Each structure stands twice: as C-alpha cells, then as structure tokens.
Amino acid sequence: MRLSFFLREALRSMRRNAVPSFAAMATVLVTMLMLGLFIPVVQATTGAANSVRKRVLVDVYLKTSAKPADVARVQTLLHKTPHVGKLEYVSRDAAYAQQRKAHPDLYKLLGANPLPDTFRVTPDNPDNALALQRALAPPAAAGGVVPIDESIAVVKNRKTDTQKILTVTNMVKVTTAVLALVLISASVLLIANTIRLSMFARKREVEVMKLVGATDWFIRWPFVIEGTILGALGALGAVVLLGLGKVLVLDRFFHGITSVSAPHTVPFAALIAIVLAGGVAVSALGSGISLRRFLRV
C-alpha cells in the first residue's frame, strides 16, 4: 500500500514537471547511449592497439659480407641484450626466396642476391622498442649511431607507424571518455534540477507532512522513485536504440562482409545490464544531491 502511494506521488510529480522531466530523461538516454557505445569502442580499439603492439619489431640487418661465424656471434650478442623478447633469424637466401615469390617480375632482373641476413627482434615490451634499438646501435660522440658489432649494417624499428596507430586509438578513447563524462555530469545535474523543482512545487505539502510527524524518508521516497523512473526510462530508450543499431547495422555489416571479423567486445546482454544499471545510478546520484541539499524543512 505504501509503495503504491510513493509511486503515485512520483508519477504525479513527473506530470507536474513534464518538461524538466523529459529533458532529464532525454539527457540520461543520450548519456547511456554514449556509455553503450563507449564500452565496445574502447574494447575494440584496445584490442586493435594491442594487436598492433604485438607486431612491433626491431630489424637488425647484417652486412652482405657477413660469414656464418659473424651471424652466430651477433645472435649470441642479441640474446645478451636487454629488452630482447623473441628472436627470429631470416637468412639472406630465405629472404630472397620470399621476395622473389612475392615480386617475381622485379627479381628476375637481379643477377645476384642483394638481401642481407636479418634478425627480427621482438621486444619484451613494445614500449621498449626504442630502448632496444639504442642498445643495439648507440649514438656516437661524433653524431649518428654505431652498431655494437662490426657485422651489423643497420638497426631499424617499425615503431613509427605503430605509434601513429596507437596515438589515434588513444585519442578516440580519450575523446569518447571525456564526452561520456560531460554527459554523465549533465544528466546528474538535470536529474537533480528536476527533483529540486518537484520539491519546490510541493514545499508547502512537505512542511505540513513534517508537522504531522512524517519521517524524512517517508518524504524522500517519492522523489527517489521519481529520479529512478526517469533514469530507468532514459536507459531503456538507450537500450532500444543500441539494439536497433546492433540488429540493423552491425549484424548486417559483419554478415555481409565475411572477410571482416567482428571485434571481441562485451556480450550484448551484459552491455544492456551495464546501461540499465548506469541509468539508475546516475538518477540516484542526481536525486541524492537534491535531497541532501534542499530537503531541509
């Protein structure tokens, strides 16, 4: 009986403040929609970034005049170098065969094998690629770099292109996170403002209830329920839009293009639960702010 009373009071308050209530609900909807997009986007970009990071390599090219003894010496030296994770040796004959198979017309014109023996070094951590390169070819006092062994011709890393990709993915995550934070703040403030308007509209009624002995929580519950309903409705609207987007856009896209695999992200059922919980949490926070500051009669 008491729960139905609280619910009726909350719905009555929402009808009295229809415009602020709608604005609060719409803001929660947009916020939860951004949250629902933010989580899989962050997971997809993080997965792509990690995949790229795993391919960060430092290539150690030997001189074409290097002998088998020189190759063995450089290999032993590489195993002792800090930040070396995985080491792969590609002989000049193997590299020539690979390139000739990939570019047969070009390599028909070559009379001799111009490719050197190569060590492809995977750092123990992608962030250590530059440190590994400096360890293998430290800067010289007169300028430039000097490889640590006379048989090494040049040391190169592939981190430049990788760093560009990582920078872009980080920018996407940061921008989306900032936008989600701004929208969450706006949702909390709008919910708080809606509850505040409801309390001002019923100020006289609240004073009378206090005079006849009503407890603080008896007065607060209709406002808490009102904020929760607004948040839940906004989150439910976001879930509907996310579901439509998944069925009409994403599923058709990945089904129509078999060469593109769907990124590994949170299951949609778990995403729905997160969005609904987020909407209720935002509304509860907004209601709590108003109740704490303005329910002092």
Residue by residue, DSSP assigns 81-94 as STTEEEEEEE-HHH
The percentage of the chain sitting over the pLDDT mark of 70, rounded to a whole number, equals 76
Nearest to 226 by CA among 193, 180, 273, 275: 193
Confidence category of residue 42, pLDDT binned at 50, 70, 90: confident
pLDDT exceeds 70 at position 270: yes
Q: How many other C-beta atoms can be found within 10 angstroms of the C-beta atom of residue 164? A: 11
Q: Which residues contact 240 (CB under 8 A, 6 or more apart)?
A: none
Matching residue, tokens 């920078």: 167
Tell me the pLDDT tens digit for each residue of 277-293: 888 887 777 777 766 65
pLDDT at 60: 92
C-beta of residue 87 within 8 angstroms of C-beta of residue 130? no
pLDDT at 38: 78
For 4-38, give the DSSP string.
HHHHHHHHHHHHHTHHHHHHHHHHHHHHHHHHHHH
Tell me the pLDDT tens digit for each residue of 149-174: 999 999 887 665 656 666 766 777 77
The percentage of the chain sitting over the pLDDT mark of 90, rounded to a whole number, equals 11
Q: Which domains does the chain have, with CATH numbers?
A: 2-52+164-294 (no CATH), 56-157 (3.30.70.3040)
pLDDT average, residue stretch 80-84? 90
* The 118-123 sheet, strands edge to edge: 84-90, 118-123, 58-62, 152-157
pLDDT at 202: 64
Q: Which residues contact 195 (CB under 8 A, 6 or more apart)?
A: 223, 226, 227, 286, 287, 290, 291
pLDDT at 132: 87
pLDDT average, residue stretch 135-154? 87
Q: What is the largest CA-CA distance in the chain?
A: 104
pLDDT exceeds 90 at position 119: yes
Here the tokens at position 287 are: 């209601």
Task: Return d(Cα 118, Cα 71) in angstroms, integer.
Answer: 9
C-beta of residue 218 within 8 angstroms of C-beta of residue 224? no
pLDDT at 260: 45
* More confident: 78 or 105: 78
**What is the rounded average pLDDT for all residues in the chain?**
78
pLDDT at 259: 46
pLDDT at 285: 77
For 125-137, give the DSSP string.
SGGGHHHHHHHHS
Q: Which span out of 20-29, 76-85, 91-100, 222-231 was modeled with the highest average pLDDT?
A: 76-85
